[in-house]
Amino acid sequence: MKTILFAIVLLVTLFLASSESKYTKGHLSTSSNWHYVDKFCFSANRIANGTLTIKATSNNPNISLIAYDDVQGSWFAVYKSHLSCQERVNLGNKLGSVNFNGTAVTIQVLDAMRPHYWYVVAVDCSGNSLNMDYEFTWLNAGNIWKRQFSNDDQGLEQMYLTYFWFFLLLAVYSCYSGWVLTTTKSYHPIVKLLTISVVLEFLSVFILLIHYGAYSHDGVGAKGLLGFGELLDLASQLTFIMLLILIAKGWAISRITIEEKPIILGVMGVLSALYLIMFIWYKAGQDPASTVYMYDTVPGILLLVARSLAMVWFMWCGYNTYMEENHPAKRKFYVYFGVCFSLWFLALPFICIIASAVDPWVRQKAVLAMYVTFNFLALVGMSVLLSPQRASDYFTISGRVDTAGSLPYESI
C-alpha cells in the first residue's frame, strides 16, 4: 500500500511539473546517402503553430536535413522506393536554416486543414557517409495534455489515467472478494486465476500511465516500462483465456476435477510461447518510420490468428460441456457465458476492422481505447459472476485441494 501511495504521489508530481515536447537525441553513422531520422504528427490548428527545434553537429560539409509530409507524392513516394538520392531530395523540403555546428534552430509548423506526419531524413547525395549528432524537440500547439505528444498519441495519458482508477477499484474489489472467499475456505483456483488476471491488467495500466506521465514531463518517457506494461497485458490476457477455457470445460460447475489437464497445459503453453515470440518480433522488428499499429503487422496478424484459434477451442469446449450437462439452470448459464465471452474474443478482430477504416493519426489511440474498454468490461463481468454473493448460484467453489491432485469440492 505504501508503494502504491508513493507511486500515485510521483504521478501527480509528474502531471503538475512543467512539460516539454517529444525529445529525440542520437548519433547517426551510416554509409547510406539517404537515411530516416525521426517523425512526428502535428495536430491541425488554425491559430497556434507547432515547432521543431533542431540542434545538430557534423563534420560532413555536404550533409543536409530534408523534411517530408504524408501528402501524396511526398514521403510515401520516396520511402523504400527505387528513386535516386537526388530524385528523393527533389520531392522533399530542405531545412536550409539548420547549421551543423550545434546551434539550435526552431522551425514553425502550421497545419490548418488536418493533422500531418512530418518525417526528417539526413541526406548527402555526393556519396559521403552520413555522420551526425542530433537533438530534435517536437512541440504541438495546445494545452498540457496535447503539446508534448504527437497527434497519434494525444489522449493516451488521459485514457490510462481514467482506467487507472477503474482498474484500481476492480483490483481492490477482486482482492476483497478473494479475502472473503479465503475466510470461508472457498478460494477456488478458478477465482484465483481471475484475481491474477485483474491484478496483472491493473499493473499494466498503472505502468503504462507512469510511462506516459513521464513522457509528458521529459518528452522521452520510460521505454522499458512501456514494453513491460504491454507484456503484463499479454500475461493478463493469457490468464483470462485459461480461466475461460476451464469454465467452458465445466470445472467447478459440472465437474470437480480438470479433465484433459495435459492437453490444456500444452495448448496454453503453445499459446503463451506464440504470444511471447510475436511480442518480441514486433518490438525488435518494428519499423521506426511506420505509422501502423501492432495488429497491422505480421506479428500482430499471427497473434490474431492464435487468439482466434483459442476462441474456437473455447467455443468447442463450451459446446461439449453444454451437451453433457442435464441441469437446466447450468445449461442456461453455459449459453449466456458462451455468447458473452465469445463476443470478448471477437472484440479484437472487430476493433481491427474499425482501425482499418480510420485515419492513421487517430488509429492507435482508437484501437487502445476500445481494447482496454472491452478488457475492463470482460473482467468486470467475470468478477460479478465469481463474486462471493453469486458464485454459489452455479459454481462449486468451496472445500480444499487435496495432495493427490483431485478436487473434492462441496457445494456452498
The whole-model pTM stands at 0.81
For the chain, the structural domain boundaries read 24-139, 155-398
With a CB cutoff of 8 Å and minimum separation 6, the contacts of 177 are 191, 195, 383, 386, 387, 388
**What are the contacts of 318-325 at 24+ separation with CB within 8 A?**
318/248, 321/248, 321/249, 321/250, 321/253, 321/254, 324/250, 324/254, 325/250, 325/254
User: What's the CA gap between 147 and 150, in Å, rounded?
Assistant: 8
- Would you say how long the chain is, in residues? 412
Give the CATH number of domain 155-398.
1.20.1070
> In sequence order, what DSSP letters do the residues of 282-333 get, joined into one string?
HHHH--TT----GGGSHHHHHHHHHHHHHHHHHHHHHHHHHHH---HHHHHH
**CATH for 24-139, options being 3.40.50, 2.60.120, 2.40.160, 1.20.120:** 2.60.120
pLDDT along the chain (412 residues), means of 10: 43 37 82 92 80 91 92 90 92 90 88 86 90 91 76 88 95 90 79 92 94 76 82 94 91 76 85 85 79 77 86 91 86 88 92 86 88 95 82 57 37 31
How far apart are alpha carbons 84 and 314 in whole angstroms?
53
Q: What is the DSSP string of 177-237?
A: HHHHHHHTT---HHHHHHHHHHHHHHHHHHHHHHHHHHHHHHSS--HHHHHHHHHHHHHHH
Q: Residue 299 half-sphere exposure, CB side, CA atoms within 13 Å?
A: 18
pLDDT in tens, 229-257: 999 999 999 999 999 999 998 887 777 77
Tens of pLDDT, residues 325-335: 888 888 888 88
Residues 6+ apart with CB under 8 A from 332: none
All three cell numbers of 174: 477482486
What order do you get walking across the sheet with 50-57 strand by strand?
22-30, 130-139, 50-57, 105-109
> Residue 78 in contact with residue 174, Cβ under 8 Å?
no
Residue 5's pLDDT is 41
Residue-wise DSSP of 5-50: HHHHHHHHHHHHS----EEEEEEEEES-SEEEEEEEEEPP-SSSPE
Query: What CA–CA distances, in Å, run from 178 to 165, 373, 387, 396, 411?
Result: 20, 24, 9, 15, 18
Residue 202 identity: F
